[in-house]
């Protein structure tokens, strides 16, 4: 019997979601008060995070709890590396700094032991990218004239329409208990995943030169 786990997961993470989506850096970036270098800084953190997330996802791809969610079309790491190369060429900036919070996040991903914990991070990042994330891509083009060749991280054309994809993802979440998954472990780790994302957004503010801050 499917559960209503996807609704419980969404409701359990709703408060911290609102908190994280309103962190100063992301608001300033999305409202055009920063610059392309600030976007490249965010992408530099994502490169470290998605590298680990996708390494672990391929390790767990045959696990009965995680396998229904494993989908190479979601992979972002290679796209992020390409986008950064384009941005750094335009900005003439060599490597940008990686925040301690980003290293902690990647460390957490590298130490995950269960498919449920991995699924919590998979959900937090990819369903987020397929939701508010798509707005980020559009706003970076509008505010900072970043070209599509440097915004391929937000191109999910391979999966088709996003709403049916997200609905199917949520239906699979409702099946997790039936495949032996521990729903409470996913809830707890999803809260941690949001917290780690929030810490990254807090810390990268320190790398914004005061001249480009609003
Ligand atoms: C940048 C600011 C953000 C905006 C404007 C935003 C906006 C949204 C919106 C409108 C939805 C609902 C989509 C739907 O009903 O299908 C959503 C869902 C979601 N967002 Fe965000 N978001 C932001 C940041 C984030 C961040 C930083 C994360 C995680 C790190 C995140 C993770 C998620 C997740 C996991 C969902 C799916 C919730 C569910 O249906 O279970 N969002 N977001």
The answer to whether residue 213 sits within a structural domain is no
Look over the chain and give the mean of its residue pLDDT values, rounded to a whole number.
95
* Mean pLDDT score, 43-71: 98
What is the residue whose two structure tokens read 């780790």?
Answer: 189
The answer to whether residue 166 sits within a structural domain is yes
How many structural domains does the chain have?
1
Nearest-CA residue for ligand 1 atom 8 is 132
**Ligand 1 center to 129 CA (angstroms):** 7
Quick one: which atom of ligand 1 is closest to the CA of 190?
35
**64: domain range?**
5-208
Which CATH number characterizes residue 154's domain? 1.20.910.10
DSSP state of 34: S
Whole-prediction pTM: 0.95
Residue-wise pLDDT for 94-107, tens only, equals 789 999 999 999 99
d(CA 193, CA 38): 22
Reading the block at residue 29, the tokens are 């970036």
The answer to whether residue 214 sits within a structural domain is no
d(CA 16, CA 18): 5
- pLDDT at position 214 over 60: no
**Ligand 1 center to 190 CA (angstroms):** 13
* Mean pLDDT score, 171-179: 96
* Mean pLDDT score, 67-85: 98
The answer to whether residue 175 sits within a structural domain is yes
The answer to whether residue 36 sits within a structural domain is yes
Nearest-CA residue for ligand 1 atom 20 is 128
Residue-wise pLDDT for 138-148, tens only, equals 999 999 999 99
The answer to whether residue 156 sits within a structural domain is yes
- pLDDT at position 1 over 70: no
């Amino acid at each position: 019997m499917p559960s209503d786990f996807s609704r419980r997961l969404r409701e359990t993470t709703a408060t911290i979601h609102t908190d994280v989506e309103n962190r100063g850096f992301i608001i300033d970036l999305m409202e055009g008060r920063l610059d392309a270098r600030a976007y490249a800084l965010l992408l530099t953190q994502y490169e470290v995070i998605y590298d680990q997330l996708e390494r672990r996802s391929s390790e767990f791809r045959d696990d009965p709890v995680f396998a229904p969610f494993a989908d190479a079309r979601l992979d972002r790491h290679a796209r992020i590396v390409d986008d950064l190369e384009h941005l750094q060429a335009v900005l003439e900036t060599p490597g940008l700094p990686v925040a301690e919070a980003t290293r902690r996040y990647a460390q957490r991903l590298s130490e995950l032991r269960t498919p449920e914990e991995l699924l919590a991070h998979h959900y937090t990042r990819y369903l987020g990218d397929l939701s508010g994330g798509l707005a980020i891509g559009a706003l970076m083009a509008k505010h900072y004239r970043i070209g599509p060749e440097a915004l391929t991280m937000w191109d999910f054309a391979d999966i088709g329409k996003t709403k049916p994809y997200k609905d199917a993802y949520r239906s699979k979440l409702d099946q997790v208990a039936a495949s032996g998954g521990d729903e409470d472990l996913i809830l707890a780790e999803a809260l941690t995943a949001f917290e780690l994302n929030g810490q990254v957004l807090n810390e990268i503010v320190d790398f914004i030169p005061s001249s480009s801050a609003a």
